[in-house]
């Protein structure tokens, strides 16, 4: 089995998702959109069994960025037509939602940032839990695509995780590890927004990884 991981920022990799891929016998190929001169292989939708689109600072609904996003819109559309599995995280979830015809826009409730409760709407992938402590870092949000099932929400933004056929859009960051969080605090300047990185945040990330790993395993296998 082969997976393609598309990164839109070097610090926003797959985190604990990479562990799930390796343990489920997936070979991993990276496509780094921020490296000039690199283009998608035209047959990517046929070549790869699973496509992961990670987070990044870009804005899906910004018309000036359409040319940048078009190859990834096309890839998702082709992969869906071939019934391939897609997992989109944060920006990746917005790309998936847009290709499925949903509206993506700047969130009216402001930035969602830091750890907060993720309310489970459908426990199929969450081991019967009703709430989970998840990390968030986004300004944008999306409507639930037609035909999609809502799996999880927060008080601030309803559409956090959805399932469409075999694919998943995940607005929150279940994948982020403590080491990634330390990097993000510098890259995204989170200390200016929510204060210094505390040891409790690193413990929260570690605990989140423990419950997120089985979730990702189920998504990958399903």
Considering the candidates 12, 90, 136, 172, report the single residue annotated as catalytic: 90
- Chain centroid to CA 9: 13
> Which one from 18, 138, 172, 173 is the annotated catalytic residue?
173
Give the Cα separation of 214 and 125 in Å (integer).
8
Set 12, 18, 112, 175: catalytic member? 175
Neighbours of 11 (CB within 10 A): 14
Name residue, tokens 């019934």: 83
Active site residue 188: no
Token pair, residue 122, equals 């459908």
**Dist. CA 78–CA 124, nearest whole Å:** 27
List all residues 6 or more positions away from 21 whose beta carbon is below 8 Å from its beta carbon.
Answer: 3, 14, 28, 50, 220
- Is residue 90 part of the annotated active site? The answer reads yes
Question: Could you tell me which of 25, 32, 27 has the C-alpha nearest to residue 11?
Answer: 32
Q: Just list the catalytic residues.
A: 90, 173, 175
């Amino acid at each position: 089995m082969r997976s393609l991981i598309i990164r839109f920022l070097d610090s926003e990799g797959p985190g604990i998702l990479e562990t799930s891929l390796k343990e489920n016998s997936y070979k991993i190929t990276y496509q780094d959109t921020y490296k000039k001169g690199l283009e998608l292989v035209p047959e990517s939708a046929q070549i790869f069994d699973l496509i992961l689109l990670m987070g990044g600072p870009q804005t899906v609904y910004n018309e000036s960025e359409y040319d940048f996003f078009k190859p990834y819109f096309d890839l998702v559309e082709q992969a869906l037509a071939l019934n391939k599995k897609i997992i989109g995280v944060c920006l990746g979830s917005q790309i998936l939602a847009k290709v499925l015809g949903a509206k993506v826009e700047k969130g009216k409730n402001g930035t969602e940032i830091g750890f907060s409760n993720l309310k489970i709407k459908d426990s199929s992938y969450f081991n019967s839990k009703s709430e989970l402590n998840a990390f968030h870092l986004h300004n944008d949000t999306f409507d639930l695509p037609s035909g999609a099932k809502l799996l999880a929400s927060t008080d601030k933004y309803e559409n956090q995780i959805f399932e469409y056929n075999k694919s998943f859009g995940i607005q929150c960051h279940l994948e982020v590890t403590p080491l990634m969080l330390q990097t993000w605090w510098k890259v995204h300047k989170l200390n200016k927004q929510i204060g210094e990185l505390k040891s409790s945040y690193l413990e929260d990330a570690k605990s989140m990884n423990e419950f997120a790993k089985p979730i990702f395993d189920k998504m990958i296998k399903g």
